[in-house]
Structure 1
Amino acid sequence: MASQRTLARIDALAWTLIYGGLFLLVLGIASHDETRIGGWSLSVIGALAAVAGVVLIIVRSRLPQAPDSKP
């Protein structure tokens, strides 16, 4: 069972990867005209980060939640 703190960290990491990855993807697409290799690199890294964030959300949804010990 995962603690509340662990689940919160996974949530924060997942959304950071998704938003950061999408930002890098758009930045890579916008910079394709200036530098092709740099633009493609940013696009690929951004897409991979966004996919990793989605995978973390799926993993998070399958983790059992620890019951609260406080009454």
Structure 2
Amino acid sequence: TKHGVPFDDALPVFLDVNRLDRYDGREEYGEDRFLTIGLADDFELTVTYTLRGDTTRIISARKATRHEQLEYWKNR
């Protein structure tokens, strides 16, 4: 877990049909990273992840910022 949200608790975000996905190009990580904002148990979470073959690896999961929450609800 990183940022206080256990990765198992973040998994429902990937099932949210309204989630927002975007490429995370803020830094050079040596791998492609993505951010998704979605709902998990009625909480807006932001999950950073990477794809390794057929596997999605969660890097971090945290409560979405107020700005991210607004972005999520605006685009539903």
Higher strand residue share: 2
Q: TM-score, normalised by structure 2?
A: 0.25
Select the structure that is richer in helix: 1
Q: Which of the pair has more CA radius of gyration?
A: 1
